[in-house]
Amino acid sequence: MNALHSINYLYSVSGFFVGLLVGLTGVGGGALMTPLLILLFGIQPATAVGTDLLYAAATKTAGSLVHGWNRTIDWRVVRRLAAGSVPMTIVTIFALSRLDINSSAARDLITSALTIALFITALMLIFRKRIAARYTTRITALPPARVAVLTVIVGGVLGVLVSLTSVGAGAIGVTALVLLYPNLPTSRIVGSDIVHAVPLALAAGAGHWYLGSVDWAVFLSLIVGSIPGILIGSYAAPRIPDTALRMVLAATLIVVATKMTVGLMPASWHVGATQTAQSH
């Protein structure tokens, strides 16, 4: 009963819509939820990242079950990604532990990395097909062993990025997989990416829990909405074209990243901008 009283249904509604998008496109978890927690709900960046990571692990576990039911998972790809991402997650969490996670330096580092990750994610959503069309032929010519090594490296990059920002496992991961495995159907790429995100987010989330940057009341509220959302989205994913969804999501991420860029500006810049506007 106490757990039910701690649920904030505004968080739950946010969790439902983000979960729905993750299920439909494989993108949108950290890229939407972490900025929402920071900008809309006023949560500290480190706590927003840590809470979102555990939320993503639970949410994507539910999505993985549906993708497993639909047989849209390539376990070979998942193993290669995890071989790079989990060790680099541990290294990144250790590096963060050397900082005061709630200090202004840590806050600025996480917010800056998050802003950059949001812009990159938006670009990947918009230009994924063009990037794939340009580089697929070259990558297809690579020997299988080279593709395996590159997949592990991609996993390592995602491990660092996701541990810092909770963003990247979706659009960036999917784009990399489209390039490296052009013969895999999109549904299997999305399914494999979602499944890989579970150990990645769990390892990073456990690290943030150790650092004390997880809000369990917010986590519970998000899960109440997100699990139904991703179950519905994952079930509908093979049946709905996602191009329009990706464009809307990309536009949203650009707006959010711009808002966060403004927030990173020194206070003197805001004062100067305000005075300039008033003078006109």
Q: Which of 43-47, 67-71, 204-208 has the lowest mean pLDDT?
A: 67-71
Q: Is the pLDDT of residue 27 over 70?
A: no
Tell whether 274 is covered by a domain: no
Residue 267 domain flag:
no
Is 70 within a domain? yes
Q: What is the pLDDT of residues 265-280, one digit of tens each?
A: 554 444 444 444 444 4
Question: 54 and 214 in contact (C-beta within 8 Å)?
Answer: yes
pLDDT of residue 203: 92
- 273 found inside a domain: no
Tell me the pLDDT tens digit for each residue of 65-83. 877 888 888 999 999 999 9
Rounded distance, CA 14 to CA 16, Å? 5
The fraction of the chain above a pLDDT of 70, given in percent, is: 84
How many angstroms separate the Cα of 77 from the Cα of each of 73, 128, 166, 179? Answer: 9, 19, 21, 13
For residue 74, which amino acid is it?
D
pLDDT at 1: 44
Report the amino acid identity of residue 242. D
Q: For residue 197, what are the domain limits?
A: 2-262
Give CA–CA dist 111/261, Å, rounded.
9
* Cα separation, 73 vs 77, whole angstroms: 9
Most confident of 44-53, 97-106, 232-241: 44-53
Residue linked to tokens 């639909």: 70
Is the residue at 269 inside a domain? Answer: no
In contact, 46 and 107? CB cutoff 8 Å: yes
Is 238 or 269 the better-scoring residue by pLDDT?
A: 238
In a domain, 254, yes or no: yes
User: Which one has a higher pLDDT value, 178 or 158?
Assistant: 158
What is the rounded average pLDDT of the residues 168-186?
A: 81
- Please report, as a single letter, which amino acid is at residue 140: T
Which strand (E) or helix (H) includes residue 239? none
In a domain, 69, yes or no: yes
What's the burial of 137, exposed, middle or buried (CB within 10 Å: 0-12/13-18/19+)? exposed
Mean pLDDT computed over every residue of the chain? 80
271 in a structural domain: no
- Total count of domains within the chain: 1
pLDDT at 245: 66
Task: Report the alpha-carbon distance of residue 260 to residue 82 in Å, rounded.
Answer: 30
Q: Read off the amino acid at residue 20.
A: L
